[in-house]
Amino acid sequence: MKVIIGDFKMTISAEAGVVGGSTSPDHVKLTGQMGAFSLALTVLAFSAPLTTVSGYIPVALSFGGIASPLAFIIVTAMILIFGVGYVTLNAAVKRPGDFYSFISFGLGKSSGLGSGLMAAVSYFLILTGVAAYFGVACADLHQEVSGYSLSWYWYALACWAAVGILGYFNVELSAKVLTWVMVAEVVVCLVFAFAVLKGGGDTSIAAEAPFSPSEFTRSNVNLPLAMLFVVSFFMGFEATALFRDEVRLPDKTIPIATYGAIIFIGLVYTFCAYALIMAYGSGVQDAAIKSPATMFSVAFSKYVDGKYHVLISLLILTSSFACILSIHNVLSRYLYNLGTDGALPAFLKQVHPQHASPFKASMAVSFLVLLVLCPFILLQVKPEILYGQLSGVGTAGVIFLLTLVNFSALTWFVKKGRFEKASFMKSFMAPAISSIFFMGLVVLVAKNFELLVGGEPGQRVWMLYSLFFVQLFGMVLAGYYKKVKPEIFEKLGRSHS
């Protein structure tokens, strides 16, 4: 890239992290100038605010009932405590790779490679599931508007192509697209919430009732399961460190974006959950159990205006698209990092000489998604299997990885951090408290896996076991590299010794 300073022109080498000219992609590094705001929006899109408020918060309400806002507050506090350990570990690691490098740093290269592969598989499953959901939702909207529609997969493939194109370019282009989508989503969510409060809501419950601890004592409230689903709404915040090479001042940008994303998700979702409860009053839990898919649209029509129904449906689609784009970018960077270290094929580490994007990894993600979609398309299998089951398995994988990050932080502190005068509160107490919380979630996932993927209890538990197989496979692969290809083993975890 040519930089002009006064009357002087200077070409900066791609080895320095800036790209240009005809430099080989093998010698180009990821670069970018994202600030905290752009980074936060990039990962916030993962949680798809409008889709979550309209489709998933009702699921949490079906377990938490009127007491659900307290569940949101508790989870927000626990995720913030996790965030303290996370950003402290980020300051110590100073490497891209997120789960892969963070877990390698504390638990060793073998565990780190297993976690890197599990992260890639988990995000891939979520990505494929949401892409199928987009196809179904788009077909339904097209049918409603025009009276006819194509098969779901045509819309899914169109979304796949658009995401693939955006993923090919620099992440800052994706960030610009995600910014506008996120703004529109949040505006709709807040308009709804304020409209309910302005309209007085349902008078069958007091305004302060949703924040009363006494609501937890009701026999129909299952706080642990409500919290399990609420945790899934925060997914995406943990990917901030993955973009380390593409942000300005990463040691400042990543903590700001991480805390900002957590607080933003916690505030918006708690507020919207409260609004939904006030809209339905004492009957909120029954409504959430009987018709969760229509709760938001019915309440929006009552308190805002029903004529905006099509617009809201369209924004839910764009919300899903933004979610897919965000996950695609996250997964591309996992493959890029694993390819850079030699754990996966070397072509994945290639960076575009003009766009400074992991374009080969992005293309690989697009190819893999198409590879999974094609059998379902050719065999005319119901897409509900894709978004109903794969996304649930991926969610379980991310929860398990968050738990391992806590263990990694604790191990690092005990072995090295305490001798380097690391903060006891940030480096030990925060991940220790967070570990207890996430271990509880892992137990809940194991005991109630059918709630995430559907089916009868125990029917699809093999899907959960497959995640642990991926972890084990990665650890065995690391052992192979250590014995047969020690030069690759030494590079694992982004070159941690």
* CA angle, residues 97, 102, 104, in degrees to nearest 5: 100
Closest to 316 (Cα-Cα) out of 467, 465, 192: 192
- Res. 27 pLDDT band, cuts 50 70 90: low
4 pLDDT exceeds 90? no
- Res. 395 pLDDT band, cuts 50 70 90: very high
pLDDT computed for residue 16 by the predictor: 37
pLDDT computed for residue 28 by the predictor: 66
Q: Which amino acid is at 242?
A: L
Which range is most confident: 34-48, 285-299, 397-411? 397-411
Closest to 252 (Cα-Cα) out of 35, 494, 430: 35
384 pLDDT exceeds 80? no
How far is the CA of 314 from the CAs of 126, 147, 188, 286, 488, in angstroms?
21, 16, 12, 27, 47
464 pLDDT exceeds 70? yes
- Res. 327 pLDDT band, cuts 50 70 90: very high
Instruction: Write the pLDDT tens digit of every residue in 430-448.
Output: 999 999 999 999 999 999 9
Closest to 167 (Cα-Cα) out of 344, 47, 319, 326: 326
End-to-end CA distance of the chain: 33
pLDDT computed for residue 2 by the predictor: 36
Burial state string for 162-197 with b = 16 or more CB within 10 A and e = fewer than 16: ebbebbbbbbbebbebbbebbebbbebbeebbebbb
Of 69-73, 290-294, 433-437, 493-497, the poorest mean pLDDT is in 493-497
Tokens of 391: 């996304």
Among residues of the chain, what percentage have pLDDT more than 90?
63
List the chain domain ranges: 1-30, 33-495
Of 149-153, 302-306, 492-496, the poorest mean pLDDT is in 492-496
31 pLDDT exceeds 60? yes
24 pLDDT exceeds 70? no
251 pLDDT exceeds 50? yes
- Res. 21 pLDDT band, cuts 50 70 90: very low
Closest to 241 (Cα-Cα) out of 100, 425, 401, 47: 100
Instruction: Write the pLDDT tens digit of every residue in 344-362.
Output: 999 999 999 888 889 999 9
Instruction: Write the pLDDT tens digit of every residue in 105-124.
Output: 999 999 999 999 999 999 99
Tokens of 144: 């409603």
How far is the CA of 138 from the CAs of 52, 135, 178, 357, 405, in angstroms?
17, 5, 19, 29, 37
Mean pLDDT on 371-378: 90
- Res. 26 pLDDT band, cuts 50 70 90: low
- Res. 454 pLDDT band, cuts 50 70 90: confident
How far is the CA of 201 from the CAs of 59, 195, 279, in angstroms?
20, 9, 5
pTM over 0.75: yes
More confident site: 1 or 490 = 490
pLDDT computed for residue 259 by the predictor: 96
- Separation of alpha carbons 475 and 480, rounded Å: 9
267 pLDDT exceeds 60? yes
pLDDT computed for residue 332 by the predictor: 95
Mean pLDDT on 326-335: 94
Tokens of 98: 């997120």
Of 191-205, 215-229, 331-345, 375-389, the poorest mean pLDDT is in 375-389
pLDDT computed for residue 17 by the predictor: 41
- Res. 20 pLDDT band, cuts 50 70 90: very low
Instruction: Write the pLDDT tens digit of every residue in 172-217.
Output: 888 888 888 888 899 999 999 999 999 888 888 988 999 988 887 8
Say how far residue 163 (Cα) sits from the centre of its chain: 16
pLDDT computed for residue 9 by the predictor: 36
495 pLDDT exceeds 70? no
Closest to 120 (Cα-Cα) out of 98, 135, 104, 91: 98
Name 15's Cβ contacts closer than 8 Å, sequence gap at least 6: 27, 29
Say how far residue 372 (Cα) sits from the centre of its chain: 20
- Separation of alpha carbons 222 and 241, rounded Å: 34
Q: Write down the architecture of domain 33-495 according to CATH.
A: Up-down Bundle (1.20)
